């Protein structure tokens, strides 16, 4: 009977989705909820005291350091996302529209298989005062003193973060560009669009969701990353992540750490909202009418 068939489909569908959902529920949603509750508690000597207090939030919001480190993290996130998207877009375009097969794609993805920490140390070696770049430049006689700016600077942080994020961004962009089938591009060209106009009026709006997704994922991952800035960002390269992790590790003040984490989450949400509005303003979002 038709009704039975529909019900059965729903049950099968739910059964297939259930394991993942349960996993997320148990290992993500519930712990996040718990942490949120904790953020209103207090702590003393590594032990939690249940309470309903906004102390943690006010303490974080009145700390100048919190704002500064968060800004630093946001800057890292923004530049990393921007460079990653801008650099991987041509590669994605080439992979989707100009080649059959995925060889170039795999080559770029291979760089993803190296360990995160190994990468950080590798960049230290390359960018350091006695590292690859400096010794080469000195040997070539182009400089006489090593360039200090290469390492322990925002440059090093962003460079490494982009290096780490690029394959990830590329993956997302390729996936979303694959949805913009070649025939749409042909149709646009047929109607007289130049390469740039095709990009602005067809490709961008059609891959909009994927583009925003790629940018935001990269942004959040990079803005929340505190290990890379700590190792490569130098004396002034700290981000909020390290404040949060300190609370969980050495201070034992989970509630305060949780409060800062949620404040950071709220910040990211605001940034996302602003970004979408910006795209709307620039007329890049789909679903608009250009006539009356």
Q: Which of 111, 143, 197, 274 binds another protein (CB under 8 A)?
A: 197
Rounded-to-10 torsion of CA 31, 32, 36, 37:
-20
> Could you say whether residue 73 binds another protein (CB under 8 A)?
no
**Could you say which of 99, 111, 194, 277 contacts another protein (CB under 8 A)?**
194
Residue 17: CB minimum distance to another protein, A: 26
Least distance to another protein from the beta carbon of 271, Å? 21
Task: Rule CB under 8 A: say whether 254 interacts with another protein.
Answer: yes
Query: Shortest approach of another protein to residue 254 CB, angstroms?
Result: 7
Of 7-15, 91-99, 237-245, 263-271, the segment contacting another protein by CB under 8 A is 237-245
Closest approach, Cβ 121 to another protein, in A, equals: 7
Stretch that binds another protein, among 15-23, 40-48, 80-88, 216-224 (CB under 8 A): 40-48
Binding span for another protein by CB under 8 A among 21-29, 41-49, 91-99, 168-176: 41-49
Q: Examine residue 238 and tell whether it contacts another protein (CB under 8 A).
A: yes
Q: What are phi and psi of 44, to 5 degrees?
A: -150, 130
CA distance 281 to 283: 5
């Amino acid at each position: 009977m038709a009704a039975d068939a529909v019900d059965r489909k729903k049950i099968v569908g739910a059964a297939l989705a259930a394991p993942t959902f349960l996993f997320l529920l148990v290992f993500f949603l519930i712990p996040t909820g718990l942490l949120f509750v904790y953020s209103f508690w207090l702590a003393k000597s590594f032990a939690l005291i249940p309470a309903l207090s906004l102390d943690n939030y006010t303490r974080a919001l009145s700390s100048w350091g919190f704002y500064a480190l968060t800004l630093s993290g946001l800057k890292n996130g923004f530049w990393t996302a921007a460079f990653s998207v801008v650099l991987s877009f041509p590669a994605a375009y080439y992979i989707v529209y100009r080649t059959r097969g995925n060889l170039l794609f795999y080559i770029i993805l291979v760089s993803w298989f190296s360990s995160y920490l190994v990468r950080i140390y590798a960049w230290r070696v390359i960018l350091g005062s006695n590292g690859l770049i400096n010794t080469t430049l000195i040997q070539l006689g182009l400089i006489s003193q090593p360039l200090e700016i290469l390492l322990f600077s925002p440059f090093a942080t962003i460079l490494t973060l982009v290096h780490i994020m690029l394959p990830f961004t590329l993956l997302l962009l390729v996936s979303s560009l694959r949805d913009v089938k070649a025939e749409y591009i042909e149709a646009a060209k047929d109607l007289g669009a130049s390469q740039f106009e095709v990009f602005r009026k067809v490709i961008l709006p059609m891959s909009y969701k994927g583009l925003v997704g790629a940018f935001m994922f990269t942004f959040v991952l990079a803005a929340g990353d505190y290990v890379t800035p700590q190792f490569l960002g130098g004396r002034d390269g700290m981000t909020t992540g390290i404040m949060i992790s300190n609370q969980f590790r050495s201070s034992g003040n989970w509630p305060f750490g949780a409060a800062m984490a949620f404040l950071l989450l709220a910040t990211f949400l605001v940034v996302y909202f602003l970004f979408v509005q910006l795209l709307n303003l620039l007329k890049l979002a789909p679903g608009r009418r250009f006539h009356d």
